């Protein structure tokens, strides 16, 4: 089977590599603007489905799309616009629990399958010095919520309850199950 990853995220590609499946990268080009008042869970589910639907599908192919959002107080914390925005997000997360919501959608064999994973993440208390040092690394620049749990941002995480790979951007347990449902061998 031909698997298409509808994402330019290097983190999603690295995670998909862990499943041992062959795929090609073909990012979906869609408008990712949240709708007014759209809850974070509904937003990421819509994004994953729209990315899967927007990709060109050849016979026997499966399109895998995903989207991740950080949810805090009902707000979606996306990728920061600049350093000040990243700093403000990290201050909001400091000493608090938030949710990382990742939706996965697969389209193929005349079906659209989707699953959503919610992981609770607790940050320890942050200081201005730690936030500035982290921002200096540049790691926050392209990360939802301004941190990457798979990198230096892990130092902020006191604990998680849920899927680590979902926090990174692709919940592997659920993704493997969806691929198997569509007939792909995932061992």
Per-residue pLDDT of 36-65, as tens digits, reads 999 999 999 999 999 999 877 777 789 999
pTM for the complete prediction? 0.93
What does the pLDDT read at residue 45?
97
Read off the tokens for 86: 């990243």
How much is the average pLDDT of 9-33?
92
Q: Please name the residues in contact with 73: beta carbons below 8 A apart, sequence gap of 6 or more.
A: none
| Model confidence at 102: pLDDT above 80 | yes
Alpha-helical segments (H) within the chain: 10-17, 40-54, 83-93, 128-136, 164-168, 172-181
Q: Which CATH architecture has domain 2-181?
A: Alpha-Beta Complex (3.90)
| Model confidence at 90: pLDDT above 70 | yes
Which of residues 187 and 82 earns the better pLDDT score? Answer: 82
Q: Please name the residues in contact with 88: beta carbons below 8 A apart, sequence gap of 6 or more.
A: none
pLDDT band at 17 (very low <50, low <70, confident <90, very high): very high
Per-residue pLDDT of 115-169, as tens digits, reads 999 999 999 999 999 999 999 999 999 899 999 999 999 999 999 999 999 999 9
Pairing of strands 111-123, 97-108: antiparallel
Q: Domain residue spans in the chain?
A: 2-181
pLDDT band at 1 (very low <50, low <70, confident <90, very high): low
Catalytic residues: 67
């Amino acid at each position: 089977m031909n698997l298409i990853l509808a994402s330019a995220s290097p983190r999603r590609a690295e995670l998909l590599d862990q499943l041992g499946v062959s795929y090609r990268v073909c990012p979906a080009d869609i408008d990712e603007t949240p709708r007014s008042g759209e809850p974070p869970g509904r937003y990421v589910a819509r994004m994953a489905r729209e990315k899967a639907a927007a990709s060109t599908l050849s016979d026997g192919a499966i399109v895998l799309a995903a989207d991740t959002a950080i949810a805090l107080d009902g707000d979606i914390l996306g990728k920061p616009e600049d350093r000040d925005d990243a700093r403000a997000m990290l201050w909001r997360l400091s000493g608090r629990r938030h949710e990382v919501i990742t939706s996965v959608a697969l389209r193929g064999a005349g079906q659209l399958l989707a699953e959503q994973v919610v992981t609770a993440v607790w940050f320890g208390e942050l200081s201005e010095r730690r936030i500035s040092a982290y921002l200096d690394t540049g790691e926050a620049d392209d990360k939802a919520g301004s941190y990457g749990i798979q990198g230096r941002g892990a130092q902020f995480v006191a604990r998680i309850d849920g899927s680590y790979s979902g926090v990174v951007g692709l919940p592997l347990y659920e993704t493997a199950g969806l691929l198997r449902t569509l007939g792909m061998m995932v061992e």
